[in-house]
Amino acid sequence: MGAPTPQRPERPALLSLVNWPFVLVVALLVGYGLLVCWSAVYGDEKYSFNRQLAGVGVGVVLMVLLWHFDYRRLANMTTALLVINVVLILSPHLPVIGVSAKGAQSWINIGMQVQPGEFAKVTVVLFAASLLARYQGMLDDWREYCKVLGLALVPFACIMTQPDLGTGLVYLAICATIMVMGGAKARYLLITLAAGILAIVAVFAVDELLKYQLEDGTWEYRLLKNYQRSRLLVFLDPEGDLSGDGYNLAQAKIAIGSGGLFGKGLLNATQSTHGFLPEAPTDFIFCVLAEEMGFAGVVVLIALYAALIVLCLSIARGADDLFGMLIVMGVIGMWLFQILENIGMDVGLMPITGIPLPFMSYGSSFMVVNFALLGLIGSVWSHHTVQGRKAVS
């Protein structure tokens, strides 16, 4: 008799719960973002790359914890999630810990400065998914639709008290995506979109009537901040104001165009290092990438984003329940909106906002939030996989 065939060791259960293509794409995207961010903040005392690394470290830990957490335990916590949203978003208004910066009351100081509105993106996804999952994909009653729409607008209304329009638009993108995927009638959605456009026009018209002149001769508006109006007007007429937001847009286009095919190389982005491009590590990080790595570097970034979205769509398609699918789709909607808005504003196709670029822009809170969302997606995937494996066995 021959020697017994050695038995192959079983794969550890922990490793079997890892979606390796998903993790690989995330690792490449995060690594790429850190490289560009390091170059963007190099030599600038306003930013700390070590803090960005700390955000990644905390984010990875949170992602692993959420990956193993059963997301279905949150399915029936709609009211609690709404309350958490409101508390998080309004916490910067508390007198002791609230911090005002750049004309907005968006931060709290708890030994370190934190932006609760960023973390509320996670609870907005969970809240909207839990709310829509109750209708089992059939939101066809007008009264129920209005109730859902009203509840979905609560986080937006709260964030506008700071005000933070950029984050508010992200909330709307999350809720809109989940409502579309949750079975809301197309007719209701189109009516809502038309009403939203009319509301924007009405705000500008009323604001023009209510404006008043300050002592220095400038005009102040009651409903919108001056910079908010300026950003939209620059989008409509890029050359109308080359001293303010129009200047930023012009410098962004110069940075992107000067990168050519393969770029100028790391640490050689003259537009940002010489101060021509404001907020380069945050709002205009895409311009730094395009200038230093050129068109080739941009293609790599788009390819990584496309791979991440495709993998997330696959996870959403394989989810066992509507709640899990809506969570993943809400995150996808958020990322796509941020990607399109951030890159679009740099090339003049979208209004300039303070919306950062996922996994690329500087900001430890922003990085932690994106890792938390990755953890939720991993939770949907791993629990679906466990159920499938049990069914097969």
Element spanning 220, H or E: strand 219-220
CA-based Rg of the chain, rounded to a whole angstrom? 23
Quickly list DSSP for 233-265.
HHHH-TTS-TTTHHHHHHHHHHHHHHTTTT-S-
Whole-number Å distance between alpha carbons of 126 and 120: 10
| Exposure on the CB side of residue 3, measured as CA atoms within 13 A | 3
Give the pairing of strands 104-109 and 98-101: antiparallel
pLDDT in tens, 158-185: 999 888 888 999 999 999 999 999 999 9
C-alpha separations of 386 from 130, 231, 320 in Å: 22, 48, 11
The predicted pLDDT at position 1 comes to: 43
Residue whose pair of structure tokens reads 């404006």 in the numeric block: 211
Residue 114 has pLDDT above 80, yes or no: yes
**Regarding predicted confidence, which is higher, 103 or 263?**
263
**Regarding predicted confidence, which is higher, 198 or 248?**
198
Residue 90 has pLDDT above 50, yes or no: yes
**Regarding predicted confidence, which is higher, 35 or 223?**
35
pLDDT in tens, 1-51: 444 544 544 444 555 668 899 999 999 999 999 999 999 998 888 888 999
Average pLDDT of the chain is: 86
The predicted pLDDT at position 30 comes to: 97
- pLDDT band at 187; cut points 50, 70, 90: very high
Contact 212, 220 (CB under 8 A): yes
Residue 94 has pLDDT above 50, yes or no: yes
Residue 367 has pLDDT above 70, yes or no: yes
The predicted pLDDT at position 255 comes to: 87
Please state the separation of Cα 220 from the chain's center in Å. Answer: 30
Calculate the CA dihedral of residues 312, 315, 317, 320 and round it to 10 degrees: -140
Give the pairing of strands 113-114 and 104-109: antiparallel
C-alpha separations of 359 from 90, 302, 351, 364 in Å: 26, 12, 21, 10
Residue 72: how many other CB atoms lie within 10 Å? 14
Contact 99, 365 (CB under 8 A): no
Residue 387 has pLDDT above 50, yes or no: no
Contact 107, 113 (CB under 8 A): yes
Query: Percent of the chain having pLDDT more than 90?
Result: 53
The predicted pLDDT at position 316 comes to: 94
pLDDT in tens, 201-215: 888 788 777 777 676
The predicted pLDDT at position 286 comes to: 93
